[in-house]
Amino acid sequence: MLNLAPVENFRRLWPQLSTVCVLLILFWGAGLGAQDWAERAWEASWITHPTAPSREFAVLHFRRTFSLEAVPDSLPVLVSADNRYQLFVNGRRVGEGPARGDLLHWRYETYDLGPYLQPGNNVIAAQVWNYGVDGPWSQHSYRTAFVLQPTSPAFAGLRTDGQWRSYHNSAYSPLTGARERLRTYLVVGPQLRIAGDQFPWNWERQDYADSHWAPAKTLLKAAPAGLGSEFYWALVPRQIPLITRQPLPLPGVVRSGQRQTFGQEPYQLPAGTTDTLLLDFGQLENFFFNFSTTGGKGARLRITYAESLIDKAGRKGQRDATQGKTMHGVYDEFILDGGAKRSYSTPWFRTARYVEVIIDNPSEALSFQLAPAESFAYPFTERGSFKTAANALRAEDIWRVGWQTARMCAQETYVDCPYYEQLQYAGDTRIQALISLYVAGDDRLMRKAILLFDQSRTSDGLTQSRYPSNVLQIIPPYSLSWIEMVGDYWMHRPDTSFVQDRLEGVHAVLNWYHQQLLPNGLVGPTDYWNFVDWTPEWPWSESLRAGGVPDLEGGSSIISLQYALALRTAAKLCAYFDAPDFAGTYSARAERIIQAVSQHCWNAERRLFSDTPAGTTYSQHANILALLTDLAPAPAPQTPTSLQNFQEALLEKTLTSPGLAQVSEYFRFYLIQALYHTGNGHRYPEQLDIWARYLDQGFTTFPEKGGETRSDCHAWSASPNYDLLATFAGIRPASPGFAEVSIQPALAPFAYEAVVAHPQGVVRLSANPDEKNVHFEIELPQGVTGTFSLGSQEKSLTGGINKISVQRE
């Protein structure tokens, strides 16, 4: 045990020292404290257990005991681990991490242990786990290890080294095979079997006797990124806030042999009996499922988690319905040791609306107590909002479910879906990031995502489609989505140096695409997975291991126009950052591609753009992109009015023509952007019917797509929480950094209010119709200017309250 009492005695003597000595000591201490641990060598070593597997499944515990005569005001420490850790001081949870990244950008967290300390004996304890080859695909790893570095010289002795004690916990074992059993794409890592009779109960408390634990094995010294000649993990500071677990209300009991509700009294189960509890949390949540037991030695509990229940035909159907339905999902198993007040949970969160608890209690009476589950989601604060009179369009219900969808798909990175993958895909992330900006005004997770994708680039220049991921996947159109995400950040945040640093990656992606052009000027079949959208007309091919891919032969209008849009975004970025040569080159390339699509893919008879020059397949997607690029057939319309007339006709055919491949929930986002781009934001309510139907089906988060969808919670389907504000209320940035605001609201027969989080505060718009006019009140943050546009009216806006009345049509 480390005794820090002399240090505390010395601190108490400081006031009695001479002024000179005090100044010298303060100067020395401040000098060390001011050094940036992101740039200096750490004194701590990475540690592990001496005999536990280094790269296979393992759960390890570490402890460091010490004594204090007096509690310091603070004790800052830096902490990281491979794969994951939970940190405790004196039995109290301090935090968990590290925030996910890759080996060249391995995050560490900073904690102040001061509030957790006490006079006398103390212990710092950590649980570290690595799921090995069965681990989640979103997790990078080198080997199982832990590191802790105090930042104050006074507590340097607490750094991880051979004085720490270690324990290999054999109570945990992986449950694999869920992917095959559920017959679906499931890559979140194994579930667990936890044997209570092998668990070191109370290991995290200061009164636990750890003399039988092994001294920790030291590896190499920890080092920040860019320092030293060899390293396992290049350490960088965490860039996002810590996630604080929040207790959830106890679930309702759908059915049980005995129990009807959960409250203060435990659930008693006699020896030799079994029971099955079906619990409903009321909405889909990410949580740590917690419970405690007394007695029941040898009893086996199976906890199964599912987004929804299924009927006898395997269909999910109405999500609120439970009668005649059964559970089908991933599960954990717990084997009880019979001790008193044993608390059980899992190291990583589970996702579910419904939870089934099967209790097989063969030998002795069991007391089962359900504890509040703890939610796990990025700590967004809901600052934006959209409200209507009498919940018109069911907009407020859609908003509520959309926001829950966005929250469930954001933890230490954005994720496409929390139940099945927990992977950050660029296509989903662009939509998620815009929601974060508009609703929470929080750009930190977006900034991290942009940086991670930039760091994921391969030698040919493309970003990986999802990152972090230990399984390589490249979707070239998602690299274009990443460029658009950089453009979105530039327009919404005054963080120009960060955006400018991304230009090298932008150039690399566009250079790859330039090499894919066919002689006819279109982008043709390319390497990798050219995913565009989940639509029935582009089904999954098991032989190609790909789906959602349109016809590419002879050149794709869809991929080509996505490339052209990214070129235009890049041209604007380069012009802003004083790179006129690149700006001119990218603008010229974009126009050549647009003209090539006009020349080769316009069908004058159908008055639509085809997917390829062959003219055999047509989609909403190609024509949506034609609208977004202002594409028109030669000879081009000569005036803005003639272009507008052409676009109105093309939009109508895109929405109504039979025989077009239809957008799913992902690409519907771009359909809605085309509505706004062509001045048809007032038509957005037509699109809300899709989400209203999901409400009628009992969804509490929005799914990946319609029909018998795999995922009941998918990030890209939360787009109404952006478009109610940005398309219907029409609030968007008019200049980089959101320095100027453009407001092009829709006229509606009902009153509505939209609030958008802004870097300087909030933008607030209210619309109140009477028999003849709609009265708008617009509030901008002080110092922010903007423009109001509606029909032929255009008015300047200033910081503060602006009032405008517009005649109803």
Spatial contact of 432 and 406, defined as CB atoms under 8 Å apart: yes
Q: State how far the Cα of 225 lies from the Cα of 202, in Å rounded to an integer.
A: 36
Contacts of 663 (CB under 8 A, 6+ apart): 533, 535, 620, 621, 624, 670, 671
pTM summary value: 0.94
Q: In terms of residue numbers, what domain contains 369?
A: 246-375
Spatial contact of 688 and 659, defined as CB atoms under 8 Å apart: no
Q: Which of 728, 755, 782 is the last residue of a domain?
A: 728
Same domain (yes/no): 356, 427: no
Q: State how far the Cα of 471 lies from the Cα of 389, in Å rounded to an integer.
A: 48
Residue 188 lies in a domain: no
Same domain (yes/no): 690, 808: no
pLDDT digits (tens, 9 = 90+) for 193-207: 999 999 999 999 999
Same domain (yes/no): 222, 278: no
**Residue 119 CB coordination number (10 Å):** 12
Q: Which of 696, 728, 760 is the last residue of a domain?
A: 728
CA 712 to chain centroid, in Å, comes to: 16
Residue 439 lies in a domain: yes
State residue 23's pLDDT score.
33
Same domain (yes/no): 476, 515: yes
- In the chain, the number of structural domains is 4
Q: State how far the Cα of 655 lies from the Cα of 761, in Å rounded to an integer.
A: 37
Same domain (yes/no): 226, 257: no
The conformation of residue 402, written as its DSSP 8-state character, comes to H
Alpha carbon separation from 366 to 44, 343, 746 (Å, rounded): 45, 14, 61
State residue 229's pLDDT score.
82
The conformation of residue 466, written as its DSSP 8-state character, comes to B
Residue 269 lies in a domain: yes
Q: Which of 343, 375, 407 is the last residue of a domain?
A: 375
Same domain (yes/no): 757, 700: no
State residue 3's pLDDT score.
54
State residue 634's pLDDT score.
79
**238-241 contacts at long range (C-beta below 8 A, 24 or more positions apart):** 238/97, 238/98, 238/99, 238/107, 238/108, 238/109, 238/110, 239/99, 239/107, 239/444, 239/447, 239/448, 239/451, 240/99, 240/378, 240/412, 240/444, 240/445, 240/448, 241/378, 241/379, 241/444
Which tokens belong to 773? 């006019």
Same domain (yes/no): 722, 739: no
Question: Which CATH number does the domain housing residue 735 bear?
Answer: 2.60.420.10
Q: Which residues pair with 167 in a beta bridge?
A: 61
pLDDT digits (tens, 9 = 90+) for 635-662: 777 688 888 999 999 999 999 999 999 9
Same domain (yes/no): 563, 673: yes
Residue 384 lies in a domain: no
Taking the CA of residue 31 as centre, how many other CA atoms within 13 Å lie in the half-sphere pointing to its CB?
6
Question: Which CATH number does the domain housing residue 600 bear?
Answer: 1.50.10.10
Spatial contact of 240 and 448, defined as CB atoms under 8 Å apart: yes
State residue 635's pLDDT score.
79
Question: Which CATH number does the domain housing residue 155 bear?
Answer: 2.60.120.260
Same domain (yes/no): 533, 406: yes
Residue 46 lies in a domain: yes
- Give the burial string for 489-521 (b: 16+ CB within 10 Å, else e): bbbbbeeeeebeebbebbbbbbebbeebbbeeb
Query: Helix, strand, or coil here: 37?
Result: coil
Same domain (yes/no): 524, 627: yes
Contacts of 591 (CB under 8 A, 6+ apart): none
Q: Which residues pair with 120 in a beta bridge?
A: 68
Q: State the pairing for strand pair 84-89/92-97.
A: antiparallel
Give me the sign of the Cα torsion angle 583, 585, 590, 592.
positive
Same domain (yes/no): 556, 626: yes
Residue 196 lies in a domain: no
Same domain (yes/no): 106, 34: yes
Instruction: State yes or no: cis peptide before 635, omega within 30 of 0.
Output: yes
Residue 387 lies in a domain: no
State residue 504's pLDDT score.
98
Residue 179 lies in a domain: no
Mean pLDDT by 10 residues, the chain (809 residues): 47 40 35 63 97 97 97 97 98 97 97 97 98 96 98 96 98 96 95 97 97 97 90 94 95 78 81 93 98 96 98 95 95 97 97 97 92 97 96 95 98 98 98 98 98 98 98 98 98 97 98 98 96 94 90 97 98 97 98 97 96 97 98 81 92 96 97 97 95 97 93 97 98 98 95 98 97 96 97 94 92
Can you tell me which residue has the tokens 């967004």? 380
